[in-house]
Chains A and B, each alone.
Chain A
Amino acid sequence: MASFTPVVNGASSVLIHAPGLVRYGSKPWREIQDRPSRLDELQKSLQSHEQAEAYLPNRVFLGQTPISSLYEVERPWYGRPSPLANDRRAFGDFIDERSFVGLVALADVFKHVSLFEGFWQDISPRLRAVPLFQPLATVSPSLVTRDRLRADIAKGDGIALFTGTDSQPIGWIRHAHHEDGSLTANVLLENLCVKVSAALAVRELLMRHPALSEQKVDYVLSCSEEAVGDRYQRGGGNLAKAVAEFAGCVLASGMDIKNFCAAPIPALVTGAALVHSGVFENVVVVGGASLPKLGMKFLYHLEKGMPVLEDVLAAAAVWIGRDDGKSPVINLASVGRHPVRSGAALDKQLKAIVLEPMERLDLTAASVDRFVTELHNPEITVPANGGDIPERNYKMLAAVLVSGGKMARSEMQDFMKRKGVPGFAPTQGHIASALAYLPHAHRELTEGEARNCFLFARASLFLGQMTQLSDGMSVLLARHP
C-alpha cells in the first residue's frame, strides 16, 4: 500500500452568537420548564451581538487577538470590548443569530422548520449576498404568515424559534414523529444546529484555503456531539455526509467518530491514517456546535450577576492532506491511547496518553513546545465551582512529567505559561478539547516559531452509564522539517 505523509493543510473556526437559542440549551430548557420565570431572568442577562463579538475569549477563539492577551488582560473579560489586533487574520467569522436561524431552516430538507415570511424577507438578501452564506442559501425555506405561525405554535406540536431577546417568535419547528423520542423538535433543532455550524466551518475552510475546492474533499469525518437517528437506531449517524452535502462537497462521503469530548483526536488520527495509507487524498475533520451546552452554567452566572457567557455556538474544521512541503505534519508514530487497565483517573490517563508516547519517541518536556488539551474558558467554569480546567490539567500534567523524569521539579511552577495554553473556548466540550487550537496550531507551526505541539483530549465515558471508565487520545503535530 502507498505511504503518504499526512499534514494539516489548514484549519478554520466559526462562532455563532445564539442568544435566542440559549433557552433550548439542556439546562435552561429544564429550568424554564420547571419555573417559567427563569426565562425572564435569563434574557435579562444575555450579551448583545456586539458585546459577544468583542468578548476577549471569542476574539482569541477566532484568531483575531493573540492567545497571550489572555494573560495580559485582567478579568473580568466580559463587559469590556477587546480590540481587534491589527496584524491578525481571522480563522473564521463571528456569525449573527438571524442569519444562522435562516440557514437552519434551509438545512432542514424535510421542512419541519417554518419561518415567518417577514423574517425571511429581512434576512434572505443577506444570506444571498454574504460569500460565506451564499453557497448554503440556494433553496427556499417553508414560509408561514404571522397568524399561521401563532396557530401552529399554539397547537403545541413543536417548539417556537426566537432570535435575541425578542418575545415574538420568528418560526417554529415541528416534531418529526409523534411517537419517536429521537425525532422530537428539540432533537431536530439540536442536530440542525450541528449540521449548519459544521457546514459553516467547512465553508470557511474552503474560502480561506483556495487550494481545497469542494470537489477535492474525498471524505468528511464529523467529531461533533450529537446523535442523529430514529427510534430504531438512536445515534445511527452520518451527520458527516449531511454536512458534506450541505457544504457542497459533492464527491465526498463521510462518517461520524464518537468518543464524547475526545472525539476530535481520534478523528484527526483516523483522517491522517486514511491519508497516510493512500485511501483518500483529502480528508476534512469537522466538529459542529453543541446546542445542549448553551447556558449550561447560566444559574451560577445569574447568581453572580454575570452575563450568561455560554451564548455562542462554536465549530471548527481541519483539512488533512498529503505533504505539500510546508504544512505541519501529523506524526502517526506519536499516537497515544488510553488502555482499559489504566483506569479513569487523570494522572493515569496522562501517563498513558502523554508520557508513554513521549517515552516511545524519546522526547522530554523540553522538546515539546506546546501541550494542548481542554481549553475551556475559565471565566465560565470558575463561577460555577468547576475551577480552571486548563490550569488543573496542566498542574496534573506537570506532576506526571516530573514523576516520569521528563522534567525537573523546579519547572512545575510556571509550566502552564511556558508549555500550555490558557482557556478561551466556549464550554462546547469537543470544540474546547484541542480542536479549537487547530487553527492556532497551524498558524504557529507555519508562520510562528513553534516546533511542535502535543494535542490530547479526554472523554467522560461514564456519563453514558455503560462503563465507569474514561478515555483519551493524543497526537503530535510537528513543523514541516
Chain B
Amino acid sequence: MDLEVQGRIKELAESLGRNNLVVLLGAPNVDSSLIQFETVTRGDPTYSGPLTGVELGLDTYHVFEPAMKAMIGGEKYDELLGTLELALEGDTIVEALEGARR
C-alpha cells in the first residue's frame, strides 16, 4: 500500500480512535486485497511504510463481502457493483479475506 496512504490511515486512527473506524476495500484481486487487509489490521507486510509493526486492527471489509452487499441493498449493489464483482471474481476475494480473518 502506498506509503502516503498508510500515513494518513495511521494519523486518522490516532486522532479518531481505532474503534470508530471502518475500512472499505475495492481491490481488484486476492493479492491486493490481502495486502491491504494485512496493512490496516496487522501492519504493513512489506515492512516499508508507516504501518510497519503497527497493529491497528481496524474493522476492514471488501465491498464484495456479503455483509456489505446486505447493507448496500440488492438493487443498488447490482447496479453499482454487480458486473465488477462478476468480472473480478469477487467470490475468490471474499473467500481469501474470510481466511485472513481466522
Write the residues of chain A forming the contact surface with B, with a CB cutoff of 8 angstroms.
Answer: 299, 343, 345-347, 385-387, 392, 395-396, 398-400, 403
Contacts and interface: CB of A to CB of B under 8 A. Distances in A.
A396 B86 CA distance: 9
Contact of A395 (B31, B32, B80, B87): B87
Contact of B80 (A345, A346, A386, A403): A345
19 contacts: A299-B48, A345-B80, A346-B84, A347-B83, A347-B84, A347-B87, A385-B31, A385-B35, A386-B32, A387-B32, A392-B87, A392-B88, A395-B87, A395-B88, A396-B83, A396-B84, A396-B87, A398-B87, A400-B83
A272 to B, nearest CB: 31
A399 B86 contact: yes
Contacts of A343: 80
Contacts of A399: 83, 86-87
A385 B83 CA distance: 22
A399 B81 CA distance: 13
Interface of B: 28-29, 31-32, 35, 48, 80, 83-84, 86-88
A398 to B, nearest CB: 8
- Interface SS of chain A: helix
A374 B36 CA distance: 24
A392 B28 contact: yes
- Interface SS of chain B: helix
A403 B83 contact: yes
Contacts of B48: 299
Contacts of B31: 385, 387
Contacts of B83: 347, 396, 399-400, 403
Nearest to A395: B87
Contacts of A400: 83
Contacts of B84: 345-347, 396
Contacts of A396: 83-84, 87-88
Contacts of A345: 80, 84
Given A299-B48, A392-B29, A392-B87, 7 more contacts: A346-B84, A347-B83, A347-B87, A385-B29, A385-B35, A387-B29, A396-B84
Contacts of B29: 385, 387, 392
A400 B28 CA distance: 17
A346 to B, nearest CB: 7
Given A396-B83, A400-B83, A403-B83, A385 B28 contact: no
Contacts of B32: 385-387
B92 to A, nearest CB: 12
Contacts of A385: 29, 31-32, 35
B88 to A, nearest CB: 8
Nearest to B29: A387
A385 B35 CA distance: 9
B87 A387 contact: no
Nearest to B80: A345
A387 B35 contact: no
Contacts of B87: 346-347, 392, 395-396, 398-399
Contacts of B86: 399
B100 to A, nearest CB: 15
A14 B33 CA distance: 36
A182 B88 CA distance: 40
Nearest to B35: A385
A179 to B, nearest CB: 25
Contacts of B80: 343, 345
B6 to A, nearest CB: 14
Contacts of A395: 87-88
Nearest to A30: B3
A399 B83 CA distance: 7
Nearest to A343: B80
B33 to A, nearest CB: 10
Nearest to A347: B83
A75 B79 CA distance: 38
A399 B87 CA distance: 6
B66 to A, nearest CB: 20
A60 to B, nearest CB: 25
